[in-house]
Amino acid sequence: MSSSTNTPTHHTSTIGSIGTPSRRNTELALLVFAVVIPVFAYANVGLAINDSVPPGLLSYGLGLGLLAGVGHLAVRKFAPYADPLLLPLATLLNGLGLVMIWRLDQSKLLRSLPNFAPAAPRQLMYTALGIGLLVVVLIFLKDHRVLQRYTYISMFGALILLLLPLVPGLGANIYGAKIWISIPGLGTLQPGEFAKIILAVFFAGYLMVKRDALALASRRFMGLYLPRGRDLGPILVVWFVSILILVFETDLGTSLLFFGMFVIMLYVATERTSWIVFGLLMSAVGAVGVASFEPHIQTRVQAWLNPLHEYKLSQAGTHDGILHSEQAMQALWAFGSGGTLGTGWGQGHSELIRFAANSDFILASFGEELGLAGIMAILVIYGLIAERGIRTALAARDPFGKLLAVGLSGGFALQVFVVAGGVMGLIPLTGMTMPFVAYGGSSVIANWALMGILIRISDTARRPAPAPAPSPDAEMTQVVRP
């Protein structure tokens, strides 16, 4: 009997590396929660104020859900590997901000003020424009590295935006700060919100080229590597520009934001702690120097050091040529009234802060009605956005993307710190707005554009590398088994 030998033949094939899952379904599930939570808060406000579910609950829920859905579809189509947390976190903050702004619109005190106009409908329109801009960024910005070509154009563009408020007839001086421009038919616009994004592009492109030279040190002093004198030029220029902003526009917040963002990116690019020390020293020198002769900055510092004194001057109607404000004291009272768990949605009295309750001091409004627990939750959400941005920078494969993601995330976190610190009395007030939650079209639209760029960078960073093409010379191998 003869036996036959089975000789099965196997062919080798090229197997691509298993890519990162897109996580779009995870993002969709998180977006559902990001919409449901503000809708639930909206219903709570109506029940607290009028003992009934607000009639606009359905339209608000559908509107916010539609906007979130548009953003999700755009990310799913044009950035399928993007971070799944960025869009839901921003949507949640934006939704909660809309609820608080609508809650303040129902205040009888604010409604009695002259020139009162409901702010919530306009904020919803600004949110729609912001998400529309996010979609535009995702569609037309196929690769974030394209922005590197416009490094120096970005510098000139940002300088033009910063100088616009100083143009006679175009700039508007609102409560001592010259950071606005007036557009007929559209109201006011704060160009500095858009300038921070453009400046981040310039800083990333510049530092990517110059980082090796800036990292060189000439001598060591007290454990710090001192940079060479010739390399101090860039930081001196940025410092001087920030001082000019502080002098001519009397805007402490924007000055701190731009200079701080540059120092953060400079430290990441060079890994030199000495730049952080120089940055802090130069910030302190500039702020103290300007505060010594600028009355508006002096008033901000005085309101920080002794808010009760400013409150008494404001209530007394003192006419000494300086605008005294009771808002810093009212904000502290609001935080104190909220306690640990807050008074509840719609049951506080933060409208006593008047016009700034839904913009500069909206964090105090949240602090009164949601308490310390609510404020900590909101700050954790901000922290998560910054953390996901830093994680995106770590995952980015190109140095420009790393620096740009760090700059945008660092600037975002720095703005949150500056605003929250000012409202809580940790640092002097700056007049900036809390990203996503505060009323203001410029801030909401610009921050959605910032989210769009971060989503694009994260998509590029998390996108799996393409599998290598099979070699035409690959041969079949046979496995012979007896």
- Mean local confidence (pLDDT), 242-268: 81
Distance CA 198, CA 164 (A): 15
Match 């079949």 to its residue by tokens: 476
Name the range with the highest mean pLDDT among 105-114, 185-194, 359-368, 444-453. 444-453
More confident residue, 390 or 231: 390
- Global pTM reads 0.88
> Which pLDDT does position 475 carry in this prediction?
46
- Non-local (6+) Cβ contacts of 23 within 8 A are 81, 84
What is the Cα–Cα distance from 94 to 459, expressed in whole angstroms? 23
Q: Which carries the bigger pLDDT value, residue 124 or residue 313?
A: 124
DSSP string, 417-462: HHHHHHHHTSS-------TTTSS-HHHHHHHHHHHHHHHHHHHHHH
Residue 470: per-residue pLDDT: 60
**Tens digit of pLDDT for each residue in 5-47?**
444 444 433 333 345 677 899 999 999 999 999 999 999 999 9
Which pLDDT score is estimated for 319? 53
Q: Are 104 and 46 in contact (CB under 8 A)?
A: no
> How far is the first Cα of the chain from the last one, in angstroms, to the nearest whole number?
17
Position 323 pLDDT exceeds 60: no
The predicted structure's pLDDT at residue 7: 43
pLDDT digits 0-9 by tens, 424-440:
988 888 778 899 999 98
Q: What are the tens digits of pLDDT across the range 178-189?
A: 677 777 666 678
Asked if the model's pLDDT at residue 232 lies above 70, the reply is no
Q: Considering only 90-94, 460-464, 467-471, which range has the smallest mean pLDDT?
A: 467-471
pLDDT interval class at 317 (50, 70, 90): low
Cα three-residue angle 413-79-465, rounded to 5 degrees:
105
Residue 14's pLDDT is 34
Q: Which residues lie below 8 Å from residue 455, measured CB to CB, with a gap of 6+?
A: 75, 79, 82, 83, 86, 87, 134, 138
Residue 316 has pLDDT above 50, yes or no: yes
- Residues of the chain with pLDDT > 90, as a percent, come to 45
DSSP 306: -
C-alpha angle with apex 319: 314 to 323, nearest 5 degrees?
55
**Which string of b and e fits 218-247 if b means at least 16 CB within 10 Å?**
eeeeeebbbbeeebeebbeebbebbbebbb
- Above 90 in pLDDT, residue 164? no
Q: Which helix (H) or strand (E) holds 308?
A: helix 307-316
Q: What pLDDT score does 238 carry?
A: 80
Give the pLDDT score at 459: 95
If you average pLDDT over residues 344-349, what whole number do you get?
90
DSSP reduced 3-state for 112:
coil
Residues 6 or more apart in contact with residue 182 via CB below 8 angstroms: 170, 171, 172, 188
The confidence score (pLDDT) of residue 223 equals: 62
Of residues 263 and 12, more confidence is placed in 263
> Does residue 302 surpass a pLDDT of 50?
yes
Residue 64, classified by CB atoms within 10 Å of its CB into exposed (0-12), middle (13-18) or buried (19+), is buried
CB 431 within 8 A of CB 253: yes
Span 191-210, average pLDDT: 89
d(CA 143, CA 456): 7
Mean pLDDT to the nearest integer, 247-269: 82
**Is the model's pLDDT at 469 over the cut of 90?**
no
Q: Give pLDDT, residue 1.
A: 44
Q: Looking at mean pLDDT, say which of 192-196, 212-216, 398-402 comes out highest.
A: 398-402
Q: What is the mean pLDDT of the chain?
A: 83
Q: CA-CA distance, 251 to 176, in Å (whole number)?
A: 9
Q: Distance between CA 23 and CA 419 in Å, rounded?
A: 33
On the question of pLDDT at 216 being above 50, the answer is yes
The pLDDT, as a whole number, for residue 377 is 96
**Rounded distance between C-alpha atoms, residue 310 and residue 328, angstroms:** 8
Interior/surface letters 99-109, b for 16+ CB within 10 angstroms, e for the rest? bbbbbbbbbee
- Res. 338: pLDDT tops 50: yes
Give the three-state DSSP class for 137: helix
Copy the structure tokens of residue 358: 């839904």
State the number of CA atoms in the 13 A half-sphere of 111 facing the CB: 7
Give the separation between CA 356 and CA 367, rounded to whole angstroms.
14
Report the C-alpha gap between 32 and 93 in whole angstroms: 14
